[in-house]
Structure 1
Amino acid sequence: MAGEIPDLHASERTGTGKGAARQARRDGMVPGIVFGGENAPLPINLPYNALVARLKKGRFKSTLFNLKVDGHEDVRVICRDVQRDVVKDLPTHVDFMRLRRHSKINLFIPVEVLNEDTAPGLKKGGVLTMVRPEVELVVTAGDIPEKITIDLAGLEIGDTVTISDVTLPQGTKPTIDRDFVIANISAPSGLRAAEEEDEGEGEVAADEVEATEQGEKGDEE
């Protein structure tokens, strides 16, 4: 289970329709709606500055929130749509869906690296590249993993870690149906350049040998 599900504070919006929504925006709020589950849809207002700050952090539509509305029980929600002003690109309305404990949702889960300090490839000067510092998984709302881990023990330069190398928590699966790369250990740039130079010299030498052999055959004829 994730360590903490972020709180999202809102107030119940009185009145419906365009008039109430415009008034909310004049008051520095963004109107929204909470739907789904067994309860009726709940119109809400969210503080504009707090919402924009959340949006700037990214992954807003794939983050599970604990919605707190005065006079109502806390409920877990996920954003399903953010409507924006076509000119200013600022939020004008937000739709949230209630989630039950057994609901399946897509979330980005952070990747933790183990044994980075002992990996042979890194000790030799290799460079760790995190291709996916987060992995999108299908998870159960009531049992969201805080992280997944990859183990670099024994990995050399040129080795990769793919999703098939990861033991995923029960009830979760990747959203991508292929064995994608999460991280790799590559040679340092200086070593790569030296290897490419050596390969180039080898190709030149091979060309020279081939040219010499062809010349000798021509002399024999």
Structure 2
Amino acid sequence: MAIFKVDAEVREDVGKGASRRLRHAGLVPVVLYGGGRDPRNLTLNHNKVLRLIEDEAFFSSIIEFSADGGKKQKVVLKDVQRHPAKPVIMHMDFMRVDDKHEIVMNVPLHFEGGEDSPAGKSSRVMIDYQMNEVEITCFPKDLPEFISVDVSAFTAGDNLHLSDLKLPEGVTLVAFTHGENETHDAVVVSTSAIGQAETEETAESEAATEEDSKESED
């Protein structure tokens, strides 16, 4: 697992006006919360933040965090607010974690073998990746950077559901924390024959047109 170290500075002024001034000064307003302690208002260097978030693992790793050179603590990134049109980070939230309490995180899915699979090699089959991340719960020591999904054997008609994922030890899908339920067992990856899909769409369209025509005659 990659190790990320973040050094923040304490900020005294808060509010929208203060946040705008900080951003103009090349700083990102940050809130650190959780762990049974009061929230703290902090700032991070914007350029350093941009470099950190280039690494996908930063979003699903335990981060070594310190403020004004103080005691290091373990945190996870919980939220990033971005400017809608510019490459600017507007705000970030970090949450303190400890080894004795489970955390809930979104972790990315890494699909492997799709291009080399029978489905991937066929021009008549479409692989539909319906999820790119899943919500999990685990202790901090068990937090994975990502979850691998092997689709190298996929052929037309194959599907993979949440319950089919091979999870690392100590990791549980939040969707099943209240018991394994079919309504929660969403499709992660599916395949379909392109010609078949087009035929079904055409049939549905023709059926709808015929029904409209009958209604008009009536």
Matched, 1:185 2:191: yes
Distance 1:135 1:145 in 2: 12
2:97 to 96, 99, 105: 99
**1:62·1:106 contact (CA, 8 Å) conserved in 2?**
no
**Amino acid in the other structure paired with 1:187:** A
Q: Check 1:180–1:82 CA distance in 2 against 1; reply closer, same or farther (3 A cut).
A: closer
Distance 2:56 2:127 in 1: 24
**Amino acid in the other structure paired with 1:128:** I
Q: Check 1:68–1:157 CA distance in 2 against 1; reply closer, same or farther (3 A cut).
A: same
Match of 1:130 in 2: 129
1:78 to 76, 79, 99: 76
How much does 1:99 deviate? Answer: 0.8
**Amino acid in the other structure paired with 1:184:** S
How much does 1:40 deviate? Answer: 7.0
Match of 1:11 in 2: 9
How much does 1:174 deviate? Answer: 1.5
**1:102·1:142 contact (CA, 8 Å) conserved in 2?**
no
**1:122·1:185 contact (CA, 8 Å) conserved in 2?**
no
How much does 1:65 deviate? Answer: 3.4
**Amino acid in the other structure paired with 2:99:** R
How much does 1:162 deviate? Answer: 0.7
Match of 2:138 in 1: 139
User: Highest CA radius of gyration, 1 or 2?
Assistant: 1
2:27 to 26, 29, 32: 29
Match of 2:160 in 1: 161
**Amino acid in the other structure paired with 2:185:** D
TM-score (norm 2): 0.63
**1:63·1:107 contact (CA, 8 Å) conserved in 2?**
no
How much does 1:103 deviate? Answer: 3.0
Distance 1:155 1:118 in 2: 9
Match of 1:172 in 2: 171
**1:162·1:183 contact (CA, 8 Å) conserved in 2?**
yes
**1:140·1:171 contact (CA, 8 Å) conserved in 2?**
yes
Q: Give the RMSD, CA atoms, in angstroms.
A: 4.4
Runs of 5+ unmatched residues, structure 2: 83-87, 177-183, 208-218
TM-score (norm 1): 0.62
Q: Secondary structure at the match of 1:176?
A: helix
Which stretch shifts more, 36-45 or 109-118? 36-45
Distance 2:94 2:76 in 1: 6
**1:122·1:157 contact (CA, 8 Å) conserved in 2?**
no
